[in-house]
């Protein structure tokens, strides 16, 4: 029998497994040792936290908004949409809604612009880059209540740092937190200080998503500075820009700590916001039904903003 006939009569050999793919037996052995409960156990803590701190309060606020809830005990009285009608027609709530919108308008754009500028600064610096990044990130790590106390002292009418500096140049003291025309703007400055640091961190992470070939092509074409930022960098970073904008909007709409510490919503409700008014309705006026209705309306707005972000990001991914 020739060598060719021997090769033809021999049984076919099994194909050797590819070096990049594990043998089937090995994969089956690995999957056999895994329990289907392992992924569930990993997701369980997050699921419990979301259920307890997000889903359950939302459901309770929705239920409570249709009832009159006596704090001294007793049965709840069904009132239908009376709580919603009350909060939407209350002049104090309307003022709080207007203040929240105004606060958001004067904090969102400055926070994004300053955050983008700080991110560009941290990206362009070559010497001491780690120190500069840490310094720019510090406002985000500071305790907001403690910093509100510090800024309360800085903008104090008597003995405040800002008024002392104004006195050096011959300008009289300004009642920053006690005047109806300046209280909300002053608190908004603290909001910009905080939100700009967070926006800087998001933009700085977004710069890493820009391919290096884009920068090389822009350098070869002579596109630099503002033209490169607006024509190349920001369009590529559109998901990052949308995410930073939405997070900044959500933070401005939910402002509470700084206002509660620095002005308590005053004077004359000039710095009252939706969350501070909700807190007063529930824990100062003991109107839990109206507080639940107002908090649920705020939740609907926040969910709408989240859905809008998802739609914009889905459209940009196509």
Is the pLDDT at 272 greater than 60? The verdict is yes
Is the pLDDT at 15 greater than 70? The verdict is no
- H-helix segments, 169-273: 183-207, 212-221, 225-228, 234-236, 238-253, 257-262
Split at pLDDT 50, 70, 90, the class of 23 is: low
* Residue 244, CA atoms < 13 Å, CB-side half-sphere: 30
Q: For residue 289, what are the CA distances in angstroms to 31, 55, 253, 286, 298?
A: 52, 18, 21, 9, 14
Six token digits for residue 277: 């008014």
309: which residues sit within 8 A by CB, 6+ positions away? 242, 243, 246
- The mean-pLDDT minimum among 29-43, 117-131, 275-289 falls in 29-43
pLDDT score at 7: 47
DSSP string, 226-249: HHHIIIIIHHHTHHHHHHHHHHHH
C-alpha 103/C-alpha 190 separation (Å) is 11
Q: pTM of this prediction?
A: 0.79
Mean pLDDT of the chain: 83
Split at pLDDT 50, 70, 90, the class of 49 is: very high
Six token digits for residue 198: 């967070």
Alpha carbon dihedral 162, 167, 173, 177, in 10-degree steps, equals 0
Percent of the chain with pLDDT over 70: 86
Q: For residue 148, what are the CA distances in angstroms to 179, 187, 262?
A: 18, 9, 6
Six token digits for residue 220: 């070869």
Split at pLDDT 50, 70, 90, the class of 13 is: low
Split at pLDDT 50, 70, 90, the class of 34 is: low
Exposed/middle/buried for residue 279 (C-beta within 10 Å: 0-12, 13-18, 19+): middle
- The mean-pLDDT minimum among 154-158, 162-166, 313-317 falls in 313-317
Distance separating the N- and C-terminal Cα atoms of the chain = 64
Q: For residue 32, what are the CA distances in angstroms to 21, 29, 37, 43, 210?
A: 18, 5, 13, 21, 41
Cβ atoms within 10 Å, residue 282: 20
C-alpha 33/C-alpha 279 separation (Å) is 52
pLDDT score at 5: 47
Cβ atoms within 10 Å, residue 177: 22
Exposed/middle/buried for residue 176 (C-beta within 10 Å: 0-12, 13-18, 19+): buried
Is the pLDDT at 14 greater than 60? The verdict is no
Please report where in the chains the tokens 């070939």 appear, as a residue: 213
């Amino acid at each position: 029998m020739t060598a060719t006939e021997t090769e033809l009569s021999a049984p076919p050999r099994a194909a050797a497994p590819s070096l990049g793919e594990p043998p089937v037996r090995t994969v089956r052995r690995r999957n056999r040792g895994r329990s289907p409960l392992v992924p569930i156990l990993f997701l369980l803590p997050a699921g419990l936290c979301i259920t307890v701190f997000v889903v359950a309060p939302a459901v309770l606020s929705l239920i409570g908004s249709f009832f009159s809830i006596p704090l001294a005990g007793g049965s709840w009285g069904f009132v239908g949409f009376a709580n919603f009608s009350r909060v939407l027609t209350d002049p104090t709530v309307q003022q709080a809604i207007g203040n929240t919108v105004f606060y958001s308008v004067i904090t969102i754009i400055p926070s994004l612009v300053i955050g983008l500028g700080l991110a560009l600064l941290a990206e362009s610096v070559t010497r001491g880059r780690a120190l500069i990044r840490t310094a720019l990130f510090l406002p985000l790590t500071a305790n907001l209540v403690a910093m509100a106390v510090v800024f309360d002292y800085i903008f104090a009418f008597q003995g405040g740092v800002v008024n002392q500096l104004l006195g050096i140049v011959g300008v009289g003291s300004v009642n920053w937190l006690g005047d109806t025309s300046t209280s909300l703007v002053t608190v908004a400055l603290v909001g910009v200080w905080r939100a700009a640091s967070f926006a800087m961190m998001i933009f700085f992470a977004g710069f890493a998503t820009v391919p290096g070939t884009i920068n090389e092509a822009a350098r070869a074409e002579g596109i630099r500075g503002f033209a490169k930022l607006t024509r190349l960098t920001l369009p590529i970073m559109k998901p990052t820009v949308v995410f930073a904008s939405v997070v900044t909007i959500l933070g401005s709409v939910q402002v509470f700590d700084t206002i509660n510490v620095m002005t308590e919503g005053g004077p004359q409700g000039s710095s009252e916001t939706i969350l501070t008014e909700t807190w007063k309705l529930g824990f100062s006026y003991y109107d839990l039904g109206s507080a639940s209705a107002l908090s649920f309306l705020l939740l609907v707005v926040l969910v709408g903003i989240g859905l809008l972000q998802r739609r914009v990001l889905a459209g940009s991914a196509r």
